[in-house]
A and B are shown apart, each in its own frame.
Chain A
Amino acid sequence: MIGRCLRLNGFKEIVKNVSNQSFCSSLAVIKNNELSNVETSQLEKQKIIEELISKNTDEYLVYDKRLDANLAPFSDKVDLEYLDDLMPPLNATFNLAHYINRMPTLQRLVDLGVNLYVLEQDREIAQYLIRLDFNRDIKQHLLYLKSLGIEDDALGTWITCNPLIFRESIENLNIRLEYLKSKKFTQEMIQMILIRYPPFLSFTVKRVDTALGFLQREFRLTGNDVRQIISHHPKVIHFTHLRYKAISFALKEVMGFSGDQIRKIIVGAPSCIYRDCPHLEKTFDLLHERNGYSRELIVNSPYCLTAQLSMLVARINYLKLLNLFQPDPKKPCFTALDDLCVVSLPVFIEKCAKTSVLDFIKYTKSC
């Protein structure tokens, strides 16, 4: 019982103190209209507060009536600056739309075309964006990005892809670009890389260097090959050496390509690295084992390995039904791999099947 009473007493004191504290803070904001009066009244208040502090050793102040002498409810003295700043408080929300009318930085980002709806799905990024200031954090980076050759219309989508660019210092970004230049990437290549894959600038030099080294060593590429792959498919950097090793194992051991053929496949279709190994094995199984396309043909048009399986199966079965399917290039009426996977549907039907699109639709509805 004693402990409980003590706790209750302590609680009451805290409530008193907290109410006083908030009261004092509001007192500090509200001032008088006349400057001389303000100074004198403030000095008086400070004296009273100092007295109270010297009396009480606690960190909380005790309420004193003399402090709110100027705050009579019907007095004519109104602080106008306080009125200007008066507005409803910002509550906790689930999205940035609640805050945006009070945040000029975010408004300017929206004017640029940044999609805040996508960015706010990540809570940390949303909290990071709120703290930004346009002149302090963003302006220099935008000018820098423009100098790199990114157009005004593309800036919004660029920042949507890589919102954490404002965290990096411009010196760091310069070092990363100089690394690319030291590896003999031309200015056009660097522009292409930045436009196609905005997160590229956030990778450190060490990370990029290891990725390029592994890529070159794993597939035995020349320097020009690496430059071509990175400039056209910079997303390759995103994957670690484990993925490169898995892809080269699948191509060499499972599918049985030679070293030179693997190099040709990777240079011709770097998007193989995006696709997972089981998909590559399935397409190879379908084309080579089941339908008899030779390995040389697959190497010559490597994009067929990344094509969609359902599309390949539908087209091959349709041609088989019409007795027009011929995987051997030496015989007449040969169906090229490009026709199966690269060409669009109407062209494929005109060139290979020689029927109409409606017939193909009827066929797909019958199976």
Chain B
Amino acid sequence: MTSCAITAYKALNGILCVYKPSRIGLSSISERIRKVIAGDLNSMETRPVSSRVVIDGLLSRDENLTVRTVMNYADHPLVVGPRYQLKDIRLFSVHTLDWMSSGVIPFGIGASGCYHARKLQRSNPIRCYEVTGRLGYATASFDFSGEVREKSTYEHVTRGKLESVLNKMESNHQTLMYTTAAVDIGSQEAYEIASKGLLRPAHRKSMPIIYSIKLIEFKPPDFTVELQVVNEWPIFLKRMVHEIGIKLKTNATCIRLRCTRFGKYTVDDALLPFHIDLESAINSLEYYDLKQKKFVRPVNEDKFDDDFNDSFEEEPEEAMTFKFEQDADGWVDNDCHFDADRI
């Protein structure tokens, strides 16, 4: 890294992938990224204070006029504010997730980064979600934060019944694919589009389409479903879990909503918001290369991980695999602050 803030600011152009934890708003994350990056830039070598020309000497006392340059106080950082302010760092979030859901969100940073982020948003890639539902009760807001409105038994639900319900939903949505593509199913045109690959909706904001539903885990009362979706929004997915519960003749509530993939951006690329600083942001940034005409990662791709290992601990050879935490429901946290050191 250079110590010059101007080169670092110019390097901040591209797409940064962030993992949003649950129980934290999206605006507080973008605020934090702005604050940290602006603070880091200001701690580096910034533009020196400019000078101004002063003409000295009193005419009434017959003195010679002297011309000299002095420091321009109007340009001092203590007077006009720090060189890099929060509004100087442009951020554009491609994806929106609500307060309770967690997952991958690509952010565009800088002018060209925001431009390409908008392009990415317009291209409408497929998102992959992991949704965990709990059988037995329904709430007002379809997730754990609302009041409980209904309770029912769920002993009669088996894995087979759940899978049959999910398959019906999937087949219904697959017929929707052709209607949103604005072609007749029996026509030659539909065959040609389908032979190329996945059928995409013709217009971006048409209606949500679920391409596939897969049951990953079934431990009553909890079940986890993997979805490949386009044009969705968080409440749509929560309502879908609610409908699954009704079709199974009980109630179901969404207790976890996690976006694992946005287009080509996966969880492994993403940075946690309390580990973001200027160096890690620049090292994991994807910038647009004009020669190759595609998004490229910087050459020192593994530098961040190496530094991280050296500073803390050696990485074990076998990475551990984790199951998803299921005991975290019912606990609501209204204060969502980050702390860089602790967590």
Contact = CB atoms under 8 A, between A and B. Distances in A.
A122 to B, nearest CB: 15
B22 A367 contact: yes
Contacts of B21: 310, 364, 367
B79 A310 contact: no
Given A321-B322, A361-B275, A309 B327 contact: no
B60 A345 contact: no
A356 B74 contact: no
B328 A282 contact: no
Given A97-B74, A115-B78, A361-B272, A367 B325 contact: yes
Interface residues of A, number: 52
B80 A313 contact: no
B325 A116 contact: no
B142 to A, nearest CB: 20
Contacts of B102: 367
A110 B78 CA distance: 7
B309 A358 contact: yes
Nearest to B71: A107
A352 B133 CA distance: 32
From B23, B58, B60, B308, residue with most partner A Cβ within 10 Å: B60
Interface string A339-367: 00100111001100001111101111111
B312 A98 contact: no
A101 B74 contact: yes
A95 B335 CA distance: 34
Contacts of B315: 356, 358
Contacts of B211: none
Nearest to A33: B60
A97 B313 contact: no
A114 interface: yes
Contacts of B328: 313, 317, 367
Contacts of B73: 97, 100-101, 106-107, 110
Interface stretch (A69-77, A79-87, A176-184, A235-243): A79-87
A366 B312 contact: no
A310 B29 CA distance: 14
Contacts of A315: 343
Nearest to A290: B331
Contacts of A286: 331
From B23, B24, B270, B342, residue with most partner A Cβ within 10 Å: B342
Contacts of B272: 361, 364-365
A86 B335 CA distance: 58
B336 A310 contact: yes
A116 B52 CA distance: 20
From B76, B102, B315, residue with most partner A Cβ within 10 Å: B76
Given A100-B73, A311-B342, A344-B341, A116 B79 contact: yes
Interface residues of B, number: 54
B81 interface: yes
B333 A366 contact: no
Nearest to B341: A344
Given A344-B341, A361-B275, A309 B333 contact: yes
Contacts of B58: 84
B327 A320 contact: yes
A314 interface: yes
A355 B317 CA distance: 12
A264 interface: no
B72 interface: yes
A190 B46 CA distance: 38
B66 to A, nearest CB: 14
Contacts of B60: 80-81, 83-84
B339 interface: yes
Contacts of B322: 321, 362-363, 366
Interface string B268-282: 001010010000000
A113 interface: yes
Contact of B267 (A80, A279, A341, A365): A365
From B22, B267, B316, B325, residue with most partner A Cβ within 10 Å: B325
A317 B336 contact: no
A226 interface: no
A350 to B, nearest CB: 7
A47 to B, nearest CB: 27
A100 B79 contact: yes
B78 A98 contact: no
B320 interface: yes
Contact of B78 (A116, A349, A356): A116
Contacts of A52: none
A249 interface: no
A346 B342 contact: no
Nearest to B24: A310
Interface in A94-133: 95-98, 100-101, 106-107, 110, 113-117
B320 A308 contact: no
A344 B342 contact: yes
Nearest to B314: A356
Contact of B74 (A98, A310, A320): A98
B342 A356 contact: no
Interface in A290-340: 290, 307-311, 313-315, 317, 320-321
Given A358-B308, A367-B22, A80 B333 contact: no
Given A308-B337, A345-B341, A367-B325, A356 B316 contact: yes
A22 to B, nearest CB: 24
Contact of B343 (A97, A107, A310): A310
Given A350-B313, A367-B22, A117 B270 contact: no
Given A310-B333, A361-B272, 12 more contacts: A83-B60, A84-B60, A114-B78, A115-B78, A117-B80, A117-B82, A310-B337, A310-B343, A317-B325, A344-B341, A358-B309, A366-B322
11 contacts: A80-B60, A96-B79, A101-B72, A117-B79, A308-B343, A311-B339, A313-B333, A346-B312, A361-B275, A366-B325, A367-B102
Interface of A: 80-81, 83-84, 95-98, 100-101, 106-107, 110, 113-117, 278-279, 282, 286, 290, 307-311, 313-315, 317, 320-321, 341, 344-346, 349-350, 355-359, 361-367
